[in-house]
Chain A
Amino acid sequence: MNKLIEKTWIDGNEALAWGAALGQVDYFTHYPGSPVNRVANDLEKIDREHALGIKFNHALNEHVSILAAAGASLCGARSMVVMKHVGLNIAADPANYLGVTGVKGGMVIVVGTDPGATCSTGEEDVHWYVPQFNLPLLEPVSIPQIVESIPTAFELSERYSLPVLLFLPATLCFNSDAVELPNPPPRRPIRFHFEKNREAYTHVGAKAVQHHAEHLQRIVDLRSNTWRAREFFNSSAPVGIISRGAAHCHTYEAIIELGLEEGTHLLTTELVYPLNENEIRTFAANKERILVVEDQDGFLEFSLKNLLYNESPCPIHGKDRLPSHGDLDYQMILRAVADFLGCECNPPARLPAVEIPERLGTYCEGCPHRSTFFGIDQVVGDSDTVIGGDIGCSSLPPHRPDWLLCMNAGIGLSQGMAQIVDDQSIVSTGGEGSFFHMGIISLLNAVHNKIDFLHLVFDNRIVAMTGHQLSPTSEAHDQQVDHHKLLESLGVDHIFEANAFLPFEVKYRLEQAQKLSGVRVLWVRGNCAYFPDAEHQHRRKVRTLHIHNDKCGSCRTCFEDLGCPAINERPGSTDIYVDLDRCARCGVCLEVCPNEAIEVQELTN
């Protein structure tokens, strides 16, 4: 037994990292995205502290990430790949065939889901991919179970030569619990080697069909021999409740609060796909009715109904009593369980809700996107010019772009618009993270098709929104990409550059670019406020700012149009001031003030 280290609080991201370390992962790769944005950072920390020697691949998109994990697995390594739900769309092409190919070292595909869209642009239910990929799916329900589930997934993966999916909703990713963790064991002393086997790894014609049949058989074997579920309360009760994922804890507590322990048999399944038919039949055998409590579209309910079709007279309920949208909270589940069991639900008298405007956040003080958009606004104004938006910090309120759809939607949608409209100016935008994710291919597509089109890249030199991972243009990168040479080699017709912290330079370059035709790129550089360059750090130490309200013409340009959180209005007055505890001293407010009312004082000591 490994020596216990001290009890510590970990959240879902850290639990995944600890699970990977305890499962003796050899190879880790990911594309960062909330809610699983910090797993790589946490695992790197564990790797450093315990000298595990895990190999990392900070991939530039999910497609390459999942393939890299598969490659490592085919050489015998235990590999883990992490992405968010929408990332699985990007990885879906190879994921469709990994079950057919099979794996050698254990391979785990972790996907962060987002019922309630707390940190994403949508709450897509990726469960429907699971029967299509035909890969086993684990869904742990608590922090300790997340830690345990990764070693379990590796074992299952190796036993059945299948990658194992593990879904974790945002609620669990951001929950924390105090757990005792053993020291991670050293990595297994294995010499990784790819054993050539074209017969197994090449799928054409009859071989593709044969490998598909073998894949199906492995799933049948796994389904028959594996049952990972926990049962609670009274197994002879006529009412069954089945839950998965984050709904489990709410359901368990609701049954206790309602005092229904005697009248209910709760089954929580960790292995959500494939379901062990015999075990499900045994559970359903003495039930008069079953309620399925789960978030999103009702994948488990659908699977159970499919499995028991024409077999059990026991009615199965679920999405007729619980919504398919949003995150299921405790109150919803409490009511659904009470209603299903016909008991009175008397939750404590609560105070009424008060309607408060939603706060979605904004750019940080000193964020390069704020000044860049100020510059763009100077050109676009209230005109009919279309601003294409993209996922990332640049999409935060006050929501300047005209759409927000998915990664690289800006650079893609804009091309179709640019080709089809005659009298409207189209400017697409996106961060450098998106650009290197797939935007680079989209840009090449514009060159390839000679599309008259302008794209702005916000290069803040870090993948900011998802946890500040390095991007290819990060200054800390060993091999920082020369974006200018890259754009030249792609065949971009006109390349412009601007300093993000000089909004009128952005304005000037944008106007220049709009006058030309062909494929045009305006590359706007400015470090993320979390990683200010040396000059900004120096300014923060030596500079203080003051707004002279007697000189201020009350144009409110700095307060409203620029909208820096460090510039505030005094309560009950129109006077504005700089909150020096917040101010990053980026100097953009000096640039935009038409009245020179902001004074800079350099501290000499």
Chain B
Amino acid sequence: MAWRKQQILNLIIVGVGGQGVASLMKVIQKLCIAADLPAQSSLLKGGAQRLGTVTGQIRIFLNRDLDHFNFSPTVPAGRCDFLIGLEPWEALRMHDRLSAGSVVLVNSEEAPFESNRGSKKEHGDPAKLFLIAPEQIHIHDFTDQSRQRFANNVMVNYLMGEFFITHLFPLFSATDFTKTFVQTVPRSAPQLQSLT
């Protein structure tokens, strides 16, 4: 992976407004501080509160000699090491940020394109459009998992973050992740209390 050479870990989190991209990014930001890891991040969203594209980018500087304040806060094309897509089309929108070595984690449940509600246009299956080796893409229905585990569909960001930390990049402990998530998203406390 590119980060091993550069010693900059590039993570992109994408989704649509209301899914909790910003919250998940804040949790990872806090974990970076706790681990004393220099990092930069950027959050891009439009004017809408709902269903617009939201893109969060975090660059973690594993090489502390780099003057990270002078580095770009956005992930260059082809340099994304990990992509967490809370919505599959939005994950696919980041396709040119990926390289053959990237690892992709995608929620399979699609959010409708609001502007196309009346057109009944079929877009196909986004999961099949990723040009990445099967072992490097992890597609699960985290929305359904959220319903099964928490009786709602708003914990997708937590479940994807937990999966990322546990299975893909154990830079932080899952317990710390959950504790930080509860601190950052207080409404999740009733659901996650038993885990903290």
Assuming the contacts A11-B43, A253-B72, A354-B129, asked whether A349 and B33 have C-beta atoms less than 8 A apart, the reply is: no
Nearest CB in chain A: distance from B41 CB, A: 5
Contact, CB under 8 Å: A350 / B46: no
Which one, B46, B79, B96, contacts A119 given CB within 8 A?
B46
CA distance A283 to B60 in the complex (A): 34
Q: Which of A176, A356, A556 contacts B43 (CB 8 A)?
A: A176
Complex interface residues of chain A between 318 and 334 (CB less than 8 A to chain B): 329-331, 334
List B contacts of A353 (CB < 8 A): 95-96
B97: Cβ under 8 A from any A Cβ: yes
Write the nearest CB–CB distance from A142 to chain B, whole angstroms: 5
List A contacts of B89 (CB < 8 A). Answer: 356
The answer to the question of A357 belonging to the interface, with a C-beta cut-off of 8 Å to chain B, is yes
Interface size on A, residues (CB 8 A): 64
Task: Check if B50 sits within 8 Å of A362, measured CB to CB.
Answer: yes
Q: Which of B73, B79, B112, B113 contacts A568 (CB 8 A)?
A: B112
Residue of A nearest to B131 (CB): A351
Min CB–CB distance B152 → chain A (angstroms): 5
Q: Which residues of B contact A177 (CB under 8 A)?
A: 39-41, 69, 73
Q: What band does the interface of chain B fall in when counting residues whose beta carbon is under 8 Å from A?
A: 35 or more
Query: What's the Cα separation between A560 and B132 when bound, in Å?
Result: 35
Which residues 11-25 in A have Cβ within 8 Å of B in the complex? 11
User: Does A90 lie at the interface of the complex (its beta carbon under 8 Å from any beta carbon of B)?
Assistant: no
**A interface secondary structure, majority:** loop
Contact of A381 with B by CB under 8 A: no
* B112 & A361 in contact (Cβ 8 Å cutoff): no
B49 and A360 form a contact (CB under 8 A): no
The answer, yes or no, to whether A565 is at the interface (CB within 8 Å) is: yes
Given A118-B44, A397-B114, A565-B114, A253 and B93 touching (CB < 8 A)? Answer: no
- Measured CA separation A11–B25 after assembly (Å): 12
Binary contact track B81-109/A, C-beta < 8 Å → 1, others 0:
00000000110110111111010000000
Q: How far is the CB of A294 from chain B (nearest CB, A)?
A: 15
Whether the Cβ atoms of A360 and B96 lie closer than 8 Å is no
Stretch at the interface among B115-123, B160-168, B173-181, B187-195: B115-123
Residues of A within 8 A of B (CB): 7-9, 11, 34, 118-119, 141-145, 171, 174-178, 232, 248-250, 252-253, 329-331, 334, 347-354, 356-365, 393, 396-398, 464-465, 530, 556, 559-560, 563, 565, 568-569, 571, 579, 581-582
Query: Could you list some 20 contacts between A and B, CB below 8 A?
Result: A7-B33, A11-B43, A175-B41, A178-B33, A178-B38, A351-B96, A351-B102, A352-B96, A352-B131, A353-B95, A353-B96, A354-B96, A356-B90, A357-B123, A358-B115, A362-B50, A362-B114, A397-B115, A530-B49, A582-B18
Q: A350-B99, A563-B117 are in contact. List 15 more A-B contacts (CB 8 A).
A: A119-B46, A174-B44, A253-B76, A330-B77, A350-B98, A352-B131, A354-B129, A356-B90, A356-B93, A359-B16, A361-B48, A364-B49, A398-B114, A568-B112, A581-B154
